[in-house]
């Protein structure tokens, strides 16, 4: 533990990484404040969990469509300039939505909200693989694993503060302020990214071009493919709880926007703690990923039984701790195992799996909630996630056995 903390301290002592980490923190804070306001507004306007699921699908689905472009750009162009550009673009869209929400108040049309969701989804489709691949350009080669784990921790800090801001402003019916926060933090993040100096670990454009096709690489690299498959099962339903939380707050706990924001905030605290714990942990490998996913599935079960705010807070905190730890280990596993020449394209695939599974699972989960209630939906999430974890453990065992035989 002492050695791990010392290594993390060394990573954080690097001014270059601190600029990158601060930009990531700001991105996470603004994104979550915006996202929670967006989700609650859609639910408040429509009263439908399915509509919330469609919102998630609209934002996330564009990442699947734009993935080939995003991965190629991340490997063939200057990541620093591209990342600053995507953050600046996000600032413009979020700020514009804040102005409209402030001016129109409760009369803000759902179509305007969906248009902003689509624009931010398109920007995010390019931005997400860039942010993950950019880690290799920021730190020296042997620091990639630690930096990738810290990436999740830093994002969790941002999520915690962004969720707190959402709780405050949604409780005051000031959703426009959440959008304004996203605009401001994105602008500062863009300026910070421009100050990052790429390290000697950066792979040349010629080497990236010579890396080959990413699909063929994935088919022969189970150390990357199996974590991606497990990530898919994790985000399909388990990490799609944003679709469920408004209904849990409204129906199970008989609360409103404040209760929803409190649950989101508690989950963010848990995610932060889990990611920090994983950043200092020695856990690694496919087996650890499978076991952690199974534990996450088991942790979702109690949430289906809660009827009071305190019980809901405890249950969602545990879910957040395990989920945050899982994301930290998953990201580090993929980023460390990936061929540096294909870092951008592998990061694009990671983004496709992460948000693409959410795009598919969101409407399905929303339909389950509308048709059978949040309790049945939560039990389904727990069972499906646990079953996928078992399948992942079997695949990891067979992969290891095959490697030993070779």
Per the model's pLDDT, the better-predicted residue between 10 and 18 turns out to be 18
Q: What is the distance, to the nearest Å, from the Cα of residue 232 to the centroid of all Cα atoms in its chain?
A: 12
| Rg value, the chain, Cα | 20
Q: What is the pTM of this model?
A: 0.67
Least confident of 37-41, 109-113, 402-406: 402-406
If you write DSSP's letter for every residue of 42-66 in order, what string do you get?
HHHHH--HHHHHHHHHHHHHHHHHH
Q: 10 Å Cβ neighbour count for 111?
A: 8
- Contact at 8 Å (CB) between 7 and 139? no
Model pLDDT for residues 235-272, shown as the tens digit of each residue = 888 888 877 888 888 888 988 878 888 888 888 888 88
In 3-state terms the chain splits into helix, strand, coil percentages (rounded to 5) of 90, 0, 10
Decide if pLDDT at 202 tops 70. no
What sections of 210-254 are H helices per DSSP? 214-219, 222-233, 241-247
Model pLDDT for residues 341-390, shown as the tens digit of each residue = 777 778 778 877 887 787 788 888 889 988 998 899 999 999 999 998 99
What mean pLDDT do residues 37-46 have? 86
Decide if pLDDT at 404 tops 50. no
- Cα-Cα-Cα-Cα torsion 269, 273, 274, 279, nearest 10 degrees, comes to 140
Q: 10 Å Cβ neighbour count for 397?
A: 13
Give the Cα separation of 364 and 359 in Å (integer): 9
Least confident of 71-80, 228-237, 244-253: 71-80
- Contact at 8 Å (CB) between 79 and 181? no
Arch. (CATH architecture) of 13-201+214-405: Up-down Bundle (1.20)
Decide if pLDDT at 328 tops 90. no
Residue 184's pLDDT band, with cuts at 50, 70 and 90, is very high
Question: What residues does each domain of the chain span?
Answer: 13-201+214-405
Structure token digits, residue 168:
């405050």
Residue 3's pLDDT band, with cuts at 50, 70 and 90, is very low
Report how far apart, in Å, the C-alpha atoms of 310 and of each of 109, 245, 302, 303, 307 are. Answer: 35, 15, 13, 11, 9
Q: 10 Å Cβ neighbour count for 201?
A: 16
Instruction: Supply the pLDDT for residue 401.
Output: 58
- Contact at 8 Å (CB) between 16 and 138? yes
Instruction: Supply the pLDDT for residue 179.
Output: 94
Decide if pLDDT at 197 tops 80. no
Q: What is the distance, to the nearest Å, from the Cα of residue 216 to the centroid of all Cα atoms in its chain?
A: 26
Give the Cα separation of 244 and 306 in Å (integer): 13
- Contact at 8 Å (CB) between 180 and 33? no
Instruction: Supply the pLDDT for residue 336.
Output: 80
Q: What is the distance, to the nearest Å, from the Cα of residue 189 to the centroid of all Cα atoms in its chain?
A: 17
Model pLDDT for residues 387-398, shown as the tens digit of each residue = 989 988 887 777
Instruction: Supply the pLDDT for residue 311.
Output: 92
What do you get for the CA distance between the two ends of the chain, in Å? 35
Give the Cα separation of 38 and 242 in Å (integer): 11
Model pLDDT for residues 86-111, shown as the tens digit of each residue = 999 999 999 999 999 898 877 788 88
Highest mean pLDDT among 210-219, 223-232, 258-267, 317-326: 317-326
Decide if pLDDT at 129 tops 60. yes
Q: What are phi and psi of 203, to 5 degrees?
A: -85, 135
Residue 319's pLDDT band, with cuts at 50, 70 and 90, is very high
Give the Cα separation of 245 and 374 in Å (integer): 9
Site of tokens 């080669």: 141
Give the Cα separation of 195 and 188 in Å (integer): 11
Give the Cα separation of 391 and 406 in Å (integer): 23
Instruction: Supply the pLDDT for residue 12.
Output: 61
Round the average pLDDT of the chain to a whole number and report it: 81
Q: What is the distance, to the nearest Å, from the Cα of residue 71 to the centroid of all Cα atoms in its chain?
A: 17
Q: 10 Å Cβ neighbour count for 9?
A: 9
- Contact at 8 Å (CB) between 178 and 166? yes
């Amino acid at each position: 533990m002492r050695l791990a903390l010392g290594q993390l301290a060394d990573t954080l002592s690097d001014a270059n990484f601190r600029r990158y980490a601060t930009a990531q923190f700001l991105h996470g804070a603004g994104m979550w404040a915006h996202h929670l306001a967006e989700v609650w507004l859609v639910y408040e306007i429509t009263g439908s969990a399915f509509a919330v699921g469609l919102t998630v699908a609209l934002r996330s689905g564009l990442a699947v469509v734009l993935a080939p472009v995003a991965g190629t750009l991340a490997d063939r162009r200057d990541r620093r300039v591209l990342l600053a550009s995507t953050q600046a673009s996000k600032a413009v869209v979020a700020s514009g939505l804040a102005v409209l929400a402030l001016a129109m108040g409760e009369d803000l049309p759902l179509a305007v909200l969906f248009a902003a969701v689509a624009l931010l989804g398109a920007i995010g489709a390019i931005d997400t693989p860039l942010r993950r691949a950019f880690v290799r350009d920021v730190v020296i080669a042997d620091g990639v694993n630690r930096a990738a784990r810290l990436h999740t921790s830093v994002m969790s800090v941002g999520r915690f503060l962004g969720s707190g801001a959402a709780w405050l402003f949604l409780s005051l019916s000031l959703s426009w302020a959440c959008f304004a926060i996203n605009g401001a933090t994105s602008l500062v993040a863009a300026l910070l990214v421009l100050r990052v100096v790429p390290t000697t670990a950066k792979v040349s454009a010629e080497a990236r071009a010579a890396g080959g096709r990413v699909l063929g690489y994935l088919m022969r690299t189970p150390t990357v493919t199996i974590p991606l498959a497990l990530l898919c099962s994790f985000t399909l339903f388990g990490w799609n709880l944003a679709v469920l939380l408004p209904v849990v707050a409204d129906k199970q706990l008989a609360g409103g926007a404040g209760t929803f924001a409190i649950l989101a905030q508690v989950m963010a605290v848990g995610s932060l703690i889990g990611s920090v714990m994983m950043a200092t942990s020695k856990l690694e490998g496919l087996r650890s990923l499978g076991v952690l996913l199974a534990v996450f599935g088991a942790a979702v079960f109690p949430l289906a039984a809660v009827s009071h705010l305190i019980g809901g807070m405890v249950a969602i905190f545990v879910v957040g701790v395990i989920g945050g730890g899982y994301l930290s280990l998953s990201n580090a596993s993929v980023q460390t195992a990936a061929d540096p020449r294909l870092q951008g394209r592998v990061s694009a695939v990671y983004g496709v799996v992460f948000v693409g599974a959410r795009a598919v699972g969101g409407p399905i989960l929303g339909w389950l909630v509308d048709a059978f209630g949040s309790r049945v939906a939560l039990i389904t999430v727990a069972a499906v996630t646990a079953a996928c974890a078992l399948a992942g453990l079997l695949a990891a065992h067979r992969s290891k056995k095959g490697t030993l035989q070779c």
